[in-house]
Chain A
Amino acid sequence: MKHLNPDKAAIPRLPRAETITLMSCALVQPLLRRVVRQIATRHPNLFERLGSYRTIDYLIDPIDFPFALHLRPDPLEPLLRAVSRDVTPDAGATIRGRFLTLLRLLDSSEDGDAAFFSRDLEVSGDTEAIVRLRNALDDLDGSIAEEVANMFGPPGRAILGRLRQMYLRRHSAEKLAQA
């Protein structure tokens, strides 16, 4: 199993890792704010499936990223921000995995249960909150990843294309390794 021990799977911490993390967070905050607001505006039905879990704090942790993400899917004030792992919020539910695994889930090209079975995805905290979020996001037609990429025009689509190639290559390599 590829357990999600950051020592094994995450990028090595650099000498000034904390500075880099803080700078990365600062750089992506405006983009994340734009993304979450646009998704919330375009998909008001998404919140119905969350039920009473619209104000819970989710920690989404791409273990090979310099920062984690804090999501609060409140339709009145949606929040998505990058946070340092040293100062994460008191999350009600945590979803953890490699960035490409999380991207594949958002791209509607991987099944969440299958990622859990393979241990590529770790969840903890309020399980109902996690199930509701998964089902709410999965009821959107198409791919959220593609929608986000489209918000940033040709550069966004090009980046998503590259990332898709990366996870296809990784998937092929893993299948070969298992064979």
Chain B
Amino acid sequence: MTELICPAGTPAALRTAVDAGADAVYCGFQDATNARNFPGLNFTADELARGVSYARSRGTKVLLTINTYPPAGKVDLWRSAADVGAHVGVDAFIVADMGLADYVARAHPDIRLHLSVQAAASSPEAIRYYCKHFGVKRVVLPRILTIPEIRQIRREIHCEIETFIFGNHGLMVEGRCSLTNYLTGQSTNMDGVCSPASDVEYVQDEDGSMCSRLGGFTLDCIGAGEKAGYPTICKGRYIGSHRPEGYYAFEEPVSLNLSHLLPELIEAGVDALKIEGRQRSKSYVRTVVSAFRSALDDIRHGQTPNIADLVALTEGQKETRGAFETKRWR
């Protein structure tokens, strides 16, 4: 049965996700060990223990996200995160770093190991390597594959497949993106901060326009009639000599929404469907999890899925099926 994997940035969001019908909730600690290390977000060890208890009593799993890369020689924080997770009884670790995968496989062999999207494993050979050497049970695929490609990978690997179905449309080679480092000195992959809030500034103009800046550099100036996105370099709009009007050099502010592709994903052999958004509110979690729970239940009962309109929650108020539908999504 295809699982619905849901985000939780706070204990209240975890309870909201469980109550809304999540099969599993993923979350992380309040430090650099996870890729949503945002201010005021995430869990203490005690909060995680209570969250596991709440989820387990309602038949929901908790997956601990430890998906950043430890700086050389500084692995203690990452290992400690795994040890605490094991102590409080999480159902799986989501990791990206090979060294951490090796540690977890040895120190906590009874706990499932999932390979984070941050590992960017997108070929059968890479996935099989992780499975063979670290006992990985599930791979979270990067958002760069078409459904036929996922179907082909399914035939060539023996572990479970998880894909994103809603939220951030991250298309950088995940786990390798260093754009934030250039402007802020902080690392998405090692500090867990993409566009750290402390370096973000919004400047409002009286005409209703707004400029977003990161580390003092302007990423975009949004007119009074335009929708906004996150202040990330990859969603910035830039002026070049060949494009003086400004253009999205990497990617437009847009969110992934695969609600209409759920039957195809399931048919292709996807075992788990993931909703992005640990940085989002309880309201987002409740709305999105409920919508996908309902859709999956419809499919399970042989009915046409009832897809709720989620565009109001999307970045830039726009949604895409991205590479899952075609590699020419732009």
Contacts and interface: CB of A to CB of B under 8 A. Distances in A.
Interface of A: 1, 3-5, 49-51, 105, 108-114, 116-119, 122-124, 127-128, 130-136, 138-141
A1 B205 CA distance: 14
Contacts of B38: 131, 135
B176 to A, nearest CB: 25
Contacts of A123: 202
B202 A128 contact: no
B228 A135 contact: no
A40 B312 CA distance: 32
A112 B281 contact: yes
Contacts, number: 110
Residue with the greatest number of chain B CB neighbours at <10 A, chosen from A5, A109, A118, A131 = A131
A135 B47 CA distance: 15
A5 B313 CA distance: 23
Contact of A124 (B204, B223, B227, B230): B204
A133 B9 CA distance: 14
Interface stretch (B84-92, B95-103, B147-155, B193-201): B193-201
Of A127, A130, A131, A134, the most chain B CB neighbours within 10 A belong to A127
Interface string B225-240: 1111110000000000
B112 interface: no
A132 B42 CA distance: 11
B40 to A, nearest CB: 3
Interface string B5-28: 000011111010000000000000
Nearest to A96: B204
Given A114-B313, A118-B227, A119-B226, 8 more contacts: A4-B208, A108-B281, A114-B312, A117-B315, A127-B197, A128-B39, A138-B9, A141-B12
